[in-house]
Structure 1
Amino acid sequence: MAVLVSDGIERRRRIKPYKATVFAPVEPRAQRIKRIATKTIVWTSVIGAILLVAAGIASILFYNHYAAIVERRVDAGFWQTRAGMYAAPYQIRKDQQATPDAIVEQLRRAGYVEGDNNGTVWNGSFEKTDTGLKITNSNAYSLEPEITNINFAGNRVKQIEQNGAKADTYQIEPEMLSGRSETKRTKNHVLKFEDIPENLRNAILAAEDQRFFNHHGIDPRGIARAFVANLSGREIKQGGSTITQQLVKNTFLTPERSFTRKFSEAFLSVALENKMSKQDIFAVYCNEIYLGQYGASGVNGVEQAARAYFNKDLKDVTLDEAATIAAMIKNPRAYSPQHNPENSRERRNWILARMNEIGLSNASDVEIARNIETKLAPPKANDRTIAPYFVDAATKELTSKFSADYLNSNFNTRVYTTIDTQLQTAAERALTKRLEGLDKYYSKKSCGSKEDSSSIQNPKSKIQNGCRLQATIVALDPHTGHVLAMVGGRDYRESQFNRATDAQRAPGSTFKPIVYAAAYEHGYSPISTAADQATEFATIGGKMYKPSNYHGAYSNTNITFKTALVKSSNVIAVKTAMDVGLGSVAKKAKEFGFDNVETYPSMALGTMETTPLQLAAAYAVFANGGTSVEPTFIDKVVSGSDQMLQLSTPNGKQVIKEQTAYMITDALMDVVHRGTAAKANGALGKNVVFAGKTGTSKDGWFAYTRPAATSLCRCGSIL
Structure 2
Amino acid sequence: MVRLGLLALVGVLALAAYMVYLDVQLRERLDSRQYQLPARVFARPLVLREGMALRPDELMAEFDALSYREKKPLTEPGQWHREGMEFRVWRRDFAHADGREPAAQVTFRLRNDELSNLRDEAGNKIREFRLDAAPIGTLLGGGDDRNPVRFADIPPLLANTLIAVEDQDFLHHFGVSPRGIARAMIANIKAGAVVQGGSTITQQLVKNIFFDHKPSLQRKINEALMAILMELHYEKPYILQEYINEVWLGQQGSRAIYGFGLASEFYFQKPLDTLEPHEMALLVGLAKGASYYNPWRHPKRALERRNTVLEVMKEQGLITAEQYEDYRARPLDVASAGAAAQNPYPAFTERLLEELRPYYSYEELRTAGLRIYTTLSPSVQKLAEDAVSERAEQIEKDRGIQADSLQAATVLLDNNSGNVLAMVGDRRPNYPGFNRALEARRQVGSLIKPAVFLTALERPDQYSLATPIEDAPIRVEGDNGQVWMPSNFGNRSHGPTPLYLALAKSYNQATARLGLDLGLENVRQTIRRLGVQADLPRVPAMLLGAVELTPFEVAGMYQTMANGGEHVEPRTLLAVANADGEQVQRFRRRSNRGVDAVPAYLLRFALEEVMREGTGKSAMRRLPSSVAFAGKTGTTNDYRDSWFAGFSPDVTAVVWLGRDDNERTSLTGATGALTIWAEIMRKLPHRHGRVEPPRGVEYKPVNERGQYMNPEYCEGGTELPFSYETKLEPAPECRGRERFRWFRDLFGDDRDSQDETAPRQEMTPGWGVDPEEEQRQRERERQLQEQLRRDDELQQPGWEDEPLQLPPDEEEEIRQEDLWQQEERRAEEERRLLQERLEEEERRREELRRRDEGDVPVEEAEPWPGGEDQWP
Q: TM-score range by the shorter chain?
A: 0.5 to 0.7
Letter paired with 1:427: A
Counterpart CA distance in 2 for 1:213 and 1:629 is: 61
Is the aligned partner of 1:382 residue 2:335?
Answer: no
Is the aligned partner of 1:440 residue 2:397?
Answer: yes
Taking the TM superposition and a 5 Å limit, the aligned residue runs for 1:229-240 are none
Query: Which among 67, 74, 77 is matched to residue 111 of structure 1?
Result: 67
Query: Which among 410, 418, 425 is matched to residue 481 of structure 1?
Result: 418
Is the aligned partner of 1:707 residue 2:649?
Answer: yes
1:624-673 CA distance string (max 9 Å, x none): 12121111112222223332223232211221211121111111011111
Give the structure 2 partner of residue 693 of structure 1: 632
Deviation at 1:421, TM superposition (A): 1.8
Tell me: CA distance 1:678–1:477, structure 2 relative to 1, closer, same or farther (3 Å).
same
Give the structure 2 partner of residue 581 of structure 1: 519
Matched residue SS, 1:401: coil
Q: Which one is further off, 690-699 or 274-283?
A: 274-283
Matched residue SS, 1:500: helix
Letter paired with 1:480: S
CA RMSD after TM alignment: 4.6
> Please, which runs of 5 or more residues in structure 1 have no aligned partner?
1-78, 217-272, 319-378, 446-462
Deviation at 1:201, TM superposition (A): 1.9
Matched residue SS, 2:548: coil
1:173-193 CA distance string (max 9 Å, x none): 2222114999999x9778986
Give the structure 2 partner of residue 125 of structure 1: 79
Counterpart CA distance in 1 for 2:513 and 2:210 is: 75
Letter paired with 2:548: E
Tell me: CA distance 1:100–1:599, structure 2 relative to 1, closer, same or farther (3 Å).
closer
Letter paired with 2:646: Y
Query: Are the aligned partners of 1:119 and 1:145 in contact in 2 as well (CA < 8 Å)?
Result: no
Matched residue SS, 2:376: coil
Deviation at 1:569, TM superposition (A): 1.4
Counterpart CA distance in 2 for 1:140 and 1:593 is: 38
Tell me: CA distance 1:92–1:294, structure 2 relative to 1, closer, same or farther (3 Å).
farther
Tell me: CA distance 1:198–1:107, structure 2 relative to 1, closer, same or farther (3 Å).
same
Counterpart CA distance in 2 for 1:596 and 1:135 is: 50
1:298-348 CA distance string (max 9 Å, x none): 96759869999xx99554489xxxxxxxxxxxxxxxxxxxxxxxxxxxxxx
Matched residue SS, 1:684: coil
Is the aligned partner of 1:405 residue 2:363?
Answer: yes
Tell me: CA distance 1:301–1:553, structure 2 relative to 1, closer, same or farther (3 Å).
farther
Query: Which among 488, 501, 505 is matched to residue 567 of structure 1?
Result: 505
Query: Are the aligned partners of 2:374 and 2:572 in contact in 1 as well (CA < 8 Å)?
Result: yes
Give the structure 1 partner of residue 738 of structure 2: none
Deviation at 1:98, TM superposition (A): 5.8
Tell me: CA distance 1:397–1:99, structure 2 relative to 1, closer, same or farther (3 Å).
closer
Taking the TM superposition and a 5 Å limit, the aligned residue runs for 1:281-300 are 282-283=242-243, 286=246
Counterpart CA distance in 2 for 1:634 and 1:293 is: 26
Matched residue SS, 2:357: helix
Query: Are the aligned partners of 2:568 and 2:590 in contact in 1 as well (CA < 8 Å)?
Result: yes
1:668-715 CA distance string (max 9 Å, x none): 011111111111224331322211111101211111112211111111
Query: Which among 490, 494, 518 is matched to residue 455 of structure 2?
Result: 518
Query: Which among 118, 130, 141 is matched to residue 171 of structure 1?
Result: 130
Matched residue SS, 1:620: helix
Give the structure 1 partner of residue 405 of structure 2: 468
Q: Percent identity?
A: 23
Tell me: CA distance 1:167–1:678, structure 2 relative to 1, closer, same or farther (3 Å).
same
Alignment length (residue pairs): 494
Query: Are the aligned partners of 2:635 and 2:641 in contact in 1 as well (CA < 8 Å)?
Result: yes
Is the aligned partner of 1:279 residue 2:235?
Answer: no
Give the structure 2 partner of residue 136 of structure 1: 90
Matched residue SS, 1:426: helix
Give the structure 1 partner of residue 353 of structure 2: 395
Counterpart CA distance in 1 for 2:596 and 2:248 is: 51
Query: Are the aligned partners of 2:118 and 2:127 in contact in 1 as well (CA < 8 Å)?
Result: yes
Taking the TM superposition and a 5 Å limit, the aligned residue runs for 1:202-351 are 202-203=210-211, 278-280=238-240, 282-283=242-243, 286=246, 313=286, 315-316=288-289
Deviation at 1:553, TM superposition (A): 0.8
Matched residue SS, 1:640: coil
Letter paired with 2:352: A
Tell me: CA distance 1:151–1:492, structure 2 relative to 1, closer, same or farther (3 Å).
closer
Taking the TM superposition and a 5 Å limit, the aligned residue runs for 1:146-157 are 146-151=104-109, 157=115
Taking the TM superposition and a 5 Å limit, the aligned residue runs for 1:576-615 are 576-591=514-529, 592-615=531-554
Counterpart CA distance in 2 for 1:646 and 1:674 is: 47
Deviation at 1:486, TM superposition (A): 1.4
Q: Which one is further off, 622-631 or 600-609?
A: 622-631
Taking the TM superposition and a 5 Å limit, the aligned residue runs for 1:533-572 are 533-555=472-494, 557-572=495-510
Tell me: CA distance 1:624–1:276, structure 2 relative to 1, closer, same or farther (3 Å).
farther
Letter paired with 2:417: T
Query: Are the aligned partners of 2:147 and 2:262 in contact in 1 as well (CA < 8 Å)?
Result: no
Q: Which one is further off, 156-165 or 479-488?
A: 156-165
Is the aligned partner of 1:429 residue 2:392?
Answer: no
Query: Are the aligned partners of 2:388 and 2:408 in contact in 1 as well (CA < 8 Å)?
Result: yes
Query: Are the aligned partners of 2:46 and 2:132 in contact in 1 as well (CA < 8 Å)?
Result: yes
Give the structure 1 partner of residue 613 of structure 2: 674
Counterpart CA distance in 1 for 2:353 and 2:383 is: 23
Taking the TM superposition and a 5 Å limit, the aligned residue runs for 1:57-72 are none
Counterpart CA distance in 2 for 1:286 and 1:113 is: 28
Counterpart CA distance in 2 for 1:88 and 1:306 is: 22
Deviation at 1:474, TM superposition (A): 1.2
Tell me: CA distance 1:98–1:565, structure 2 relative to 1, closer, same or farther (3 Å).
closer
Taking the TM superposition and a 5 Å limit, the aligned residue runs for 1:29-40 are none
Letter paired with 1:562: Y
Counterpart CA distance in 1 for 2:615 and 2:84 is: 50
Query: Which among 587, 612, 615 is matched to residue 648 of structure 1?
Result: 587
Tell me: CA distance 1:287–1:477, structure 2 relative to 1, closer, same or farther (3 Å).
farther
